[in-house]
Amino acid sequence: LFQIWHEDVLDDPKLCLKRLHKYLELDATDKERIEWLEREDFPNGKANVKRVKQSSQWEKGLNFGDENDEINKILEPCFKHYQNRKSD
């Protein structure tokens, strides 16, 4: 299973794409990866600043109303895995 986190894509899209290609056993040069990322709105292979800001604002507004505590409890294992992802 290949796991990828949205924040990691925004932090280093080219590295994430390189890891995905390795997982899928696909060959590509860094130049090809950057060209693909640029077609997907990652200028120079980097995250689009406007989209990062938009994503951050969206995440801050995420609210499950009266079910926030229940949702957070359900997602707790995911949060822990996310926090430990750099050491995986």
Q: State pLDDT tens for residues 20-64.
A: 999 999 999 999 999 999 998 888 889 888 888 888 887 777 788
pLDDT above 80 for 86: no
φ and ψ at residue 46, rounded to 5 degrees = -115, 160
Which pLDDT value is given to residue 59? Answer: 74
Token pair for residue 80? 């822990």
Closest C-alpha among 53, 22, 60, 21 to residue 37: 21
Closest C-alpha among 86, 88, 64 to residue 12: 86
Which pLDDT value is given to residue 16? Answer: 94
Of 76 and 58, the structure prediction assigns the larger pLDDT to 76
What's the rounded Cα separation, in Å, for the pair 6 and 23? Answer: 17
Which pLDDT value is given to residue 87? Answer: 62
Which pLDDT value is given to residue 88? Answer: 55
Q: With contact defined as beta carbons under 8 Å apart, do 13 and 47 qualify?
A: yes
